[in-house]
Amino acid sequence: MVMRDAIKSTVETMFRFFPFPTSTGLRVVGRPGRDAPVLLTCNFDLTVRRVLRALEGLNCYLLVAPSRGINVWCASGGGILNAHAVISVLKTSGIAEKVDHRTLVLPQLSGPGIDAGRVEAETGWSCRFGPVYAEDVPAYVAAGLQKTAEMRRVRFPLGERLQMAVMWAAPMSLLVGIPLAIFRPHLLPGVLALIWAFSLFLYAFYRPVKRLVPGPVGTVRVLLLGLLGVAGLAAWSLALGHWPAGRLVGWSLGILGVALVLGFDLEGTSPLEAGATVGFWAARWPGVLKVWALVGYELERPFSLRVDVERCRGCRTCVEVCPKGVYEMVLQDGSRKSRVAHPAGCVQCTACVKQCPKEAIVADPPIRVFAEV
């Protein structure tokens, strides 16, 4: 069982580009009573198993909502993990008969997709956005469903970064490795070593690379690193003195190709991540957005945000859903208001715009808040 779980986790981490759906519905954790917390997640198999592991020791219910086997942030960003999905699992799971309260804890990163107001209006369940990470749920529950600032932040620690390295290296290895194994098998070990070493290096040293290598976005920074690699290779081949020019060009193109793929993701990618790499290039060549649309995503153009203080009612929802700590609450003329305190941190996820109950957050240029599909 443990072995099967480990194998599944490895495969699903390596190929997490692809959906891995698991059954939706109700999972019972421990021996929940009628006041037990009710939490919700998506039906990406890896997520469900990780969440269940994180909930060990608690007594609670976990609702698994349909997300086509895609993880929470991507599925909500793409409009798949939406109010409709939540309402359907609330109505079909029979959870209402098992508890006396009507409080549903949503994953924080579902903010861009799930219209909490609509769920409440249609089902009577009041939604709260829980922590970003499942590991923080026990502490969140122990604190009476209260989050610390740390629980609200996307942290991207080393373990997660290495998983991203594996997620990029595995499909690239397959894509390049299969034809090489057939037509140029002698090149296979070197090419695989290049892909894995570059991927692991980049994600292990993600922060120093972002800090030390110049460039406005990941593609530029990592291409610079790639060029450095090409220069090193050229110097090495000159020193050896017996590398044909064709081989040098081939390996250089390989290095730059891997750099381009990895650089695209360096700032993080999601169905909405127009603020970083895609946004940067789209501002120069709007056709980039059309290419992205071909793989099923419609990205917003980069936008800036401001709070309309006349509309703001100080409910803190924007603070609760923002994964980058962009908002803070301030006293203004005796009333609590939100303000955009750290705009540079915004990753354009749109969660704040979607969840503000007073439509007080204004995006410039205006954005569609992702429609449900």
Give contact residues for ligand SF4 (rule: CB under 6 A).
305, 307, 312-318, 321-324, 326, 338, 346-352, 356, 358, 360-361
How near is the Cβ of 319 to ligand SF4 at its closest, in Å? 7
Residues 264 and 274: their CA atoms lie apart, in Å, by: 12
Q: How far is CA 6 from CA 22, 49, 170, in A?
A: 16, 11, 17
322 in helix, strand or coil?
coil
How near is the Cβ of 291 to ligand SF4 at its closest, in Å? 23
122 in helix, strand or coil?
helix
Amino acid found at 7: I
How near is the Cβ of 73 to ligand SF4 at its closest, in Å? 11
What's the token pair of residue 276?
Answer: 């970083």
The DSSP result for 204-219, as a single string, is HTHHHHHHHS--SSHH
Closer to ligand SF4 by CB, 209 or 322: give it: 322
Residue 30 C-alpha from the chain's centroid: 29
Amino acid found at 195: I
How near is the Cβ of 361 to ligand SF4 at its closest, in Å? 5
How near is the Cβ of 246 to ligand SF4 at its closest, in Å? 47
Closer to ligand SF4 by CB, 24 or 317: give it: 317
Closer to ligand SF4 by CB, 301 or 324: give it: 324
Closer to ligand SF4 by CB, 76 or 348: give it: 348
Task: State the pairing for strand pair 361-364/304-307.
Answer: antiparallel
What's the token pair of residue 155?
Answer: 């942290």
Closer to ligand SF4 by CB, 85 or 312: give it: 312
Closer to ligand SF4 by CB, 95 or 312: give it: 312
Q: Element (H or E) spanning 338, and its range?
A: strand 335-340
Question: How many DSSP H helices and E strands does the chain contain?
Answer: 16, 9
Task: State the pairing for strand pair 25-29/60-64.
Answer: antiparallel
Closer to ligand SF4 by CB, 29 or 274: give it: 274
Residues 214 and 225: their CA atoms lie apart, in Å, by: 10
Closer to ligand SF4 by CB, 223 or 346: give it: 346
Q: Element (H or E) spanning 226, and its range?
A: helix 218-240
How near is the Cβ of 279 to ligand SF4 at its closest, in Å? 12
Closest by CA to 88, choosing from 108, 67, 74, 103, is: 67
Closer to ligand SF4 by CB, 262 or 346: give it: 346
How near is the Cβ of 269 to ligand SF4 at its closest, in Å? 14
The DSSP result for 349-362, as a single string, is --HHHHH-TT--EE
Q: Element (H or E) spanning 368, and its range?
A: none
How near is the Cβ of 266 to ligand SF4 at its closest, in Å? 17
How near is the Cβ of 363 to ligand SF4 at its closest, in Å? 8
